[in-house]
Amino acid sequence: MPRTTDSKKAKKATPNSKTKKTATKTKKTATKTKKKAPVSKTKKKAVVKKAEDEYVPPEFKKLAKREMMDLAKRVVGEASVLVSEYLYKKKDISEFEISKKLKIEVNDARSILYKLFNYNLVTYIRRKDRVKGWYISYWTLNPKGFVELKAKRLKQRLKNMKDRLIREEKNPNGFFLCKNACMRVDFDAATEYGYRCPECGELLNPQDNSKTIQNLKERIKELEMLQA
């Protein structure tokens, strides 16, 4: 009799087949609910288009966009910034598209692009239009050229400062300045002006250039660290 009682208890503790089927069905429904909704064809095309438009070579990581635009502005002019910004992280963009998007004449766009090209800040390829029969240039920003230009300008600044430091050290107290700091001249120029400032007429006094020398040395050290 005791054995029969234990057997009944075991049967009660074990879930029946219907309960198992219900649990399995609930689990499958939950799994289906978790699945992500399929991505629409329009969204897929947008993702692909974005990937094609964004051209990100490793050189972009070496120079911030702001620095690139500043370099373009310094060597080519203000107008080049708009063109450079439009080409940023894009590849093979026609001069006609640039003209249309920026609302400038095609000849003006070409002029800016060729000036940028002279500094190696852009590259281009030419393709023949199958319909119209003429050749069209397609432009890409050249980040490597920006990196090289920055290094070149840094090198020139460093050279100029070192040359100035040599002049300052060779002429301690050899420079003259008026109280209004209109201009700073060397001994020969001060003599020529009769020790009077040609701008305001005030007396030109000898300047202690020890602070100038110290400042130049500090700036040179900073630039050398940037160059390293």
Domain parsing of the chain, residue ranges = 51-147, 151-227
Q: Which segment of 22-26, 126-130, 136-140, 157-161 scores lowest on mean pLDDT?
A: 22-26
Q: What's the one-letter identity of residue 98?
A: I
Nearest to 99 by CA among 115, 87, 116: 87
pLDDT band, very low/low/confident/very high, at 57 (cuts 50, 70, 90): low
Determine contact, residues 54/90, Cβ cutoff 8 Å.
yes
Fold of 51-147: Arc Repressor Mutant, subunit A (1.10.10)
Q: pLDDT over 90 for what percent of the chain?
A: 61
Q: Between these two residues, 147 and 19, which has the higher pLDDT value?
A: 147
Mean pLDDT, rounded, for 144-163: 94
Phi, psi dihedrals of residue 132, rounded to the nearest 5°: -85, -25
pLDDT band, very low/low/confident/very high, at 151 (cuts 50, 70, 90): very high
Taking 60 as the threshold, does the pLDDT of residue 47 lie above it?
A: no
Taking 90 as the threshold, does the pLDDT of residue 132 lie above it?
A: no
Q: What pLDDT, on the 0 to 100 scale, is given for residue 54?
A: 53
Taking 70 as the threshold, does the pLDDT of residue 3 lie above it?
A: no
Q: What's the one-letter identity of residue 122?
A: V
Q: Which segment of 49-53, 81-85, 105-109 scores lowest on mean pLDDT?
A: 49-53
Phi, psi dihedrals of residue 196, rounded to the nearest 5°: -125, 135
Q: What pLDDT, on the 0 to 100 scale, is given for residue 59?
A: 62
Taking 60 as the threshold, does the pLDDT of residue 212 lie above it?
A: yes
Taking 90 as the threshold, does the pLDDT of residue 29 lie above it?
A: no
Mean pLDDT, rounded, for 214-223: 94
Taking 80 as the threshold, does the pLDDT of residue 217 lie above it?
A: yes
The mean predicted confidence, pLDDT, of the chain is: 81
Taking 80 as the threshold, does the pLDDT of residue 5 lie above it?
A: no
CA distances (Å), 6 to each of 9, 15, 107, in order? 5, 16, 98
Taking 80 as the threshold, does the pLDDT of residue 60 lie above it?
A: no
CA distances (Å), 182 to each of 42, 179, 198, 202, in order? 66, 8, 9, 10
